[in-house]
Amino acid sequence: MKSKESDMNLYYMKNGQAQKENIEDLVKKKKQKEREKRIKQNKMQREQNNDFDFETEEVIKMTNKNKLKKEEERRKQLSKQERKRKKRNRRIKLVLKIVLLIGVIAGGITFALTSPIFNIKDIQVLNNNQVSSDTIVSLSELRTDQNIFKFSSNNVIQKIKENPYVESVEVHRKIPSTVQIEIEERIPTYSVDYMGKYAIINNQGYILEISEDNKGLPIILNSTTAEQEVSPNQRLNDEDLEKLEDVLRIMSSAKENNLDTEVTNIDISNKNEYIIYLEQENKYVHLGDTSNLSNKMLYVVAILEQEKENAGDIFVNGDLNNKFQPYFRQKV
């Protein structure tokens, strides 16, 4: 270094003070550039270090994130396996319960079907009037000492309903040994004149039996139901059923005027000219159709009172609303 200074001093001495100053400026500028270069290098180094730190931090974050994700997946997998295990355990418990329940039921059924405790000791028939209890029991085909569970209620009901007087049936098991058969019967209300015999019917037109006598019921004359259709558990044909509805209205009006028990027979040959016969009064009543029945029956009652001792025909078969006057024609 000293040698350089000595050379410079020599040079200055030779070239003068001006050149010396120029050289010093150049040296200063050179040093300044070197200093700036070092500063720039240091800055670049710091930036590189910062970039490395950032990248390192990102890598750490990514690594931690992956670790967390893997941990979460591991927990989910464990949770899924745990749920499967619990579900499998519940299924096993349910199957065991079902098997146990089936075993209990099977044991109960076996006991019920084999134990003499459940053998029928008493068969009760309720609400029957037309059909005897013995007939109902016979139709049911039930028997004492039969197991109370070894019969079909539906089969018993269908067998009992073969009797035309039976409208409906309910069968009740009274554990341990009683069977109740509850009956709803069809009530006979009219007899239909049929080839010298009588078809006993109810208000719905069901034929309950074929009888040699009319059983004291009002007789319906001139029905149109064919011979082959007249048998127990059958119904009258549609035309007769329609007329039966009119008969029910006529009898209802007669009952309101205390005449229903007086009616012996009803001629239904013409629905526009119904004729009832009052045997005790020895009179025929010509009603016409079923219009204005209440007023017609009032006239019938009045004429019956007035002509009490006379046999003949009462005519109320006109239009009472159009100046028709009911009248009585005495039998000659």
CB neighbour list of residue 119: distance below 8 Å, 6 or more residues apart: 144, 145, 146, 147, 148, 177
| Domain locations in the chain as residue ranges | 2-112, 117-185, 190-330
**CATH pick for 190-330 out of 1.10.287, 3.40.50, 3.30.450, 2.170.120:** 3.40.50
**Token pair of 77, please?**
């997998």
CA distance 271 to 248: 13
Chain position carrying tokens 């405790």: 117
Sequential pLDDT tens for the chain (332 residues):
445 455 555 554 555 555 556 666 666 777 777 777 777 777 777 666 555 555 556 656 677 777 777 777 777 776 777 777 777 888 888 887 787 778 767 666 665 566 779 899 999 999 999 999 999 999 999 999 999 989 999 999 999 999 999 999 999 999 999 999 999 999 999 999 988 899 999 999 999 999 999 999 999 999 999 989 999 999 999 999 999 999 999 999 999 999 999 999 999 999 999 999 999 999 999 999 999 999 999 999 999 999 999 999 999 999 988 889 999 999 87
Asked whether the domain spanning 190-330 has the same topology as the one spanning 117-185, the reply is: no
pTM over 0.75: no
Look up the CATH superfamily of 117-185: membrane protein fhac (3.10.20.310)
Helices 2-15, 17-114: axis angle to 10 degrees equals 140
Q: Would you state the structure tokens that stand for residue 305, as one six-digit string?
A: 């009172």
Tokens of 323: 């100046």
Q: Which residues contact 274 (CB under 8 A, 6 or more apart)?
A: 246, 247, 250, 266, 267, 268, 287, 288, 289, 290
